[in-house]
Chain A
């Protein structure tokens, strides 16, 4: 029982440091998927394999980082009335860049992610970070926030993607994990599996957080 308390102390000292706190917030305490339940569409749609999940997470993190930087640096010039429209335009620009970049890197990956790369535009997570954080904070803090949220989002996507690929396909990152006798749980790759896996992860998060609050 000694180790957990030590770890807690480590996190507590980190939380006192404001910039580390900004970063860590997105990772656990305000995890975009498990705690805030934002940006659910890609979370469920492209996590049927770990590779797709990772690619989607990185793409989203990139868009979030770039748009946070731009929103934060323009925060004094954007009139309040048209701010949401401006944010969406900024985000859409970076999504278009990401879309074409992924197409150039790997046509196959672009095909398997399909329209969901373009749909990063309407990921509520990115807009909510631009509105709630980047528009009020300095560039440096916005970068930290975007990095924390991006890593937290990618982490959550990977949590789902790995579980669904291992159970549904018997492999991880495309490498076979079990002998041929393994019976795949087809349902995990299907849409229904996405709902179930996310529900179970949310449950786990709830239980852990309740236990932490109780102690």
Chain B
């Protein structure tokens, strides 16, 4: 197998195979919290942080489970670790910034059920990434997630002032924008070799 450079892993995770727009991971917060630009940015930050931590944990768990010979426990261990990480982040955010805590609301605990994070842990295991590669992958995925979230939030803020027919308003409109955004992200294919 061809050795992938770190730069390529980063570009691949953030732009070419963007987690939201190409893999459809993390659609729930993508549709739910993307109404305001500021909340979207912070949500992106929180998800990136959880991704980094769970990526490190997943790497450790995977190494351990392979050594013990119990790969069927992989999924359960991943989800437990992610859930506890989210709990930790939640406590941290509540202490450091109560305003942000209120703004993120229900979507903070829901990071646990954000497929992007579990997806990241599964993909990096599937691809057999090493420690540094996993970290780069998590960073790229987080950056890509934040980028997509911020882009769509900006577009939706503009659309609030547009005259849209009542039937199209809401989720359908957001999905249409996401589709167009996904089309434009296809332009990144081939970037980074």
Measured CB to CB, the residues of A under 8 A from B are 37-38, 40-42, 44-45, 84-85, 88-89, 92-93, 95-96, 99-100, 115, 118-119, 121-124, 127, 187, 190-196, 198-200, 202-203, 206-207, 210
Contacts of A203 on B, CB cut-off 8 Å? 167-168, 172
Which of A99, A122, A202 makes the CB contact (< 8 A) with B118?
A122
Judge whether B179 and A119 touch: CB under 8 Å: no
Alpha-carbon separation in the docked complex, A210 to B110 (Å): 31
A202–B119 alpha-carbon span in the complex (Å): 26
Q: Are B31 and A99 in contact (CB under 8 A)?
A: no
| Contact present for A195 and B75 (CB under 8 Å) | no
What are 14 sample pairs from A and B whose C-beta atoms fall under 8 A apart? Answer: A41-B24, A41-B28, A88-B83, A93-B76, A95-B75, A119-B122, A121-B75, A121-B118, A122-B113, A127-B113, A193-B179, A199-B175, A202-B172, A206-B172
Which secondary structure characterizes the binding site on chain B? helix
Most buried by A among B21, B25, B186: B25
CB within 8 Å of A: which B157-187 residues? 167-168, 171-173, 175-176, 178-180, 182-183, 186
Report yes or no: B22 in contact with A191, Cβ–Cβ below 8 A: yes
> Is A119 within 8 A of B119, CB to CB?
yes
User: Contacts of A85 on B, CB cut-off 8 Å?
Assistant: 80, 83
Closest to B180 in A: A192
Distance of A99 Cα from B31 Cα, bound (Å): 28
**Do A191 and B79 touch across chains, with their CB atoms under 8 A apart?**
no
User: Which residue in B21, B113, B171 is a CB contact (below 8 Å) of A124?
Assistant: B113
Question: B25-68, CB under 8 A of A: which get 1 and which 0?
Answer: 11110010000000000000000000000000000000000000
B182 touches A191 (CB 8 A): yes
Interface size on B, residues (CB 8 A): 40
Interface of A, secondary structure class, is helix
Complex contact B126–A121 (CB within 8 A): no
Q: Does B147 lie at the interface of the complex (its beta carbon under 8 Å from any beta carbon of A)?
A: no
Query: 1/0 per position for B102-119, CB-CB distance to A under 8 A?
Result: 000000011011110111
CB-CB under 8 A from B92, the residues of chain A are none
Q: Judging by beta carbons under 8 Å apart, are B119 and A115 in contact?
A: yes
A100 contacts across to B, CB distance below 8 A: 72
Cβ–Cβ contact B118 & A199, under 8 A: no
Complex Cα distance A198/B112, Å?
Answer: 25
**Nearest-CB residue, chain B, relative to A190:** B186
Asked if B23 is an interface residue, CB under 8 A from chain A, the answer is yes
Question: For residue A47, which residue of chain B has the nearest CB?
Answer: B24
**Which A residues are CB-close (under 8 A) to B178?**
195
Q: Would you give the shortest CB distance from B97 to chain A, in whole angstroms?
A: 24
Most B CB within 10 A of own CB, among A84, A89, A96, A192: A192
A92 B75 Cβ-Cβ under 8 A: yes
